[in-house]
Amino acid sequence: MGIIASPGLVTGWPTARPEDVGLAADLGSRLDHAFGRHEYAGLHGFLAVRHGMLAVERYYPGQDERWGTPLPDYAHGPALLHDVRSITKSIVGLLYGLALHAGQVPAASEKLADAFPEYQHLKTDPLKRRITIGHVL
């Protein structure tokens, strides 16, 4: 049903079979089956990475849109740019939370300018000086 790209072809990630990284061996075929039943409307691609290994990579045909303007059906794949918009905020928030838990980034209450010393000019504006990391997440 979906296009099964050569794992790691575009990304350069090392690859593994799903079951070798603790995922269900039939994950890809279950995704294909669910897509065929239209359970995931708008799903155009799915990658499962676990323990740094790319285990599942699938792409599905379908319509897309660019800033609310419908586009024709595409055969989505690893080389086709995709309009992602709002999901980026969710992913950044997730990654920030993981990094915060690992002690790799400052708290959300910290001033943004303090986290980026190369942008000290931000501290000269009293309004910008008040911006916290949490404000931009």
| Average of per-residue pLDDT values in the chain | 84
CA-CA distance, 66 to 25, in Å (whole number)? 35
Q: What percent of the chain has pLDDT over 70?
A: 91
| pLDDT band of 11, cuts 50, 70, 90 | low
Query: Would you mind telling me the total number of residues written for the chain in this entry?
Result: 137
Half-sphere exposure of 45 (CA within 13 A, CB side): 15
DSSP bridge pairs for 47: 57
CA-CA distance, 57 to 23, in Å (whole number)? 13
pLDDT of residue 5: 47
The residue that leads in pLDDT, 25 or 82, is 25
